Structure 1
């Protein structure tokens, strides 16, 4: 077992986890506005998606998808569409709340609208359908996991990636889902939704931009 390699992977993955992105934003949003079980379910969903990305990258499946223009284009389109839909829904809910608050002058933000299953699925698809996540794992494992690395080391790397993901996202879910904290951030819930929605839509736009850029390059090379 290559301890030095595993430590390097753990550090890189930990840095990636704490960096703000769609996964982090989703857990913050659900943990501050939904039930604790729903927030934890979303954290587990994200972690399972990371486990799937890890396995697909280690087995070379992700690289095959990335190398196939058709498969990767489909994934980009589906991923961008899903992230855009989640983002639009969050922004729409935020704006509707502000509009209602202006008209009635008092409209408490509705909490606990999602079931744990819905939270899990949102977490799973948010990470799994994000092409940037897949590319990250392809680059990470292509650079650090060489053919001579033992099966035990690969298995240990998989456990580490899953374990760190669970610890980080479940910790966020546990902290922000405390009733005292939820009460304090309830007034900021529409703003959190607006920020989360705009972030998801920005990531979706970036994916679509990269997709269109690739299509244009192919068109120019074909001429």
Structure 2
């Protein structure tokens, strides 16, 4: 087993994990606005998606997808469309909460924590799958799809393993690398799920809910637009 290779993978993946992106953004939103169990489910969903990308890259499936112009184009369109839809839902939810608060303030009825909580729940129908109370299954699937359908994630893992995993690397090292990346992902996103879902943290961030939603919406839509722009430039 190549320990130096595993260490290199661990460092690179750890840096990628803590970098701002769709995975981090969706974890912040779910962990600060949903139950701890739902946040943990989302963390598991993201980690399973990372494991899937790892396996696809190690087995060469990701390379086949990227080598096929039609298939890779389809992956990018579907992924970008999903991220854009999620971003639009989050941004719209944030704006809806701001509008409700403004209306409540004009009638002196929205100045306490209970009113703020009601505003958050009131935007549920507008936020698509991101608003209101989410079940553990919804949390898991949201985390899973956010990473799995992100074309940038596919390219990242394909590039990472193409550069580091040579034909001489043993099967045991490949298996260990998959377990390592899964473990690091579960540790990081699980940490976010537990820390950000604490009652006192959620209470402090309730007033920032529309801002968090707006930022997340911008992040998701920016990634989607970047993918669309790249498709147009390379067409």
TM-score interval, normalised by the smaller of the two chains: over 0.9
CA distance in structure 1 between the partners assigned to 2:85 and 2:181 by the alignment = 28
Please, which runs of 5 or more residues in structure 1 have no aligned partner?
216-223
Would you say 1:79 and 2:99 are equivalent positions?
no
SS of residue paired to 2:120:
coil
What is the Cα deviation at residue 110 of structure 1?
2.5
Q: Number of residues paired by the alignment? A: 215
Instruction: Give the alignment of 1:82-121 within 5 angstroms.
Output: 82-105=82-105, 106=110, 107-108=115-116, 109-110=119-120, 113-121=133-141
Please, which runs of 5 or more residues in structure 2 have no aligned partner?
122-131
CA distance in structure 2 between the partners assigned to 1:180 and 1:118 by the alignment = 24
Instruction: Give the alignment of 1:21-36 within 5 angstroms.
Output: 21-36=21-36
Counterpart for residue 141 of structure 1: 161
- What do the CA deviations read for 1:115-144 (whole angstroms, capped 9, x no partner)? 111111111011001111000001100000
What is the Cα deviation at residue 191 of structure 1?
0.4
Counterpart for residue 54 of structure 1: 54
Counterpart for residue 66 of structure 2: 66
- What do the CA deviations read for 1:29-65 (whole angstroms, capped 9, x no partner)? 1100111111111111000000000000000000000
Counterpart for residue 180 of structure 1: 200
Would you say 1:131 and 2:151 are equivalent positions?
yes
CA distance in structure 2 between the partners assigned to 1:202 and 1:70 by the alignment = 24
Structural RMSD (CA)? 0.9
Runs of 4 or more consecutive aligned structure 1 residues displaced over 4 Å after TM superposition: none
Would you say 1:166 and 2:166 are equivalent positions?
no
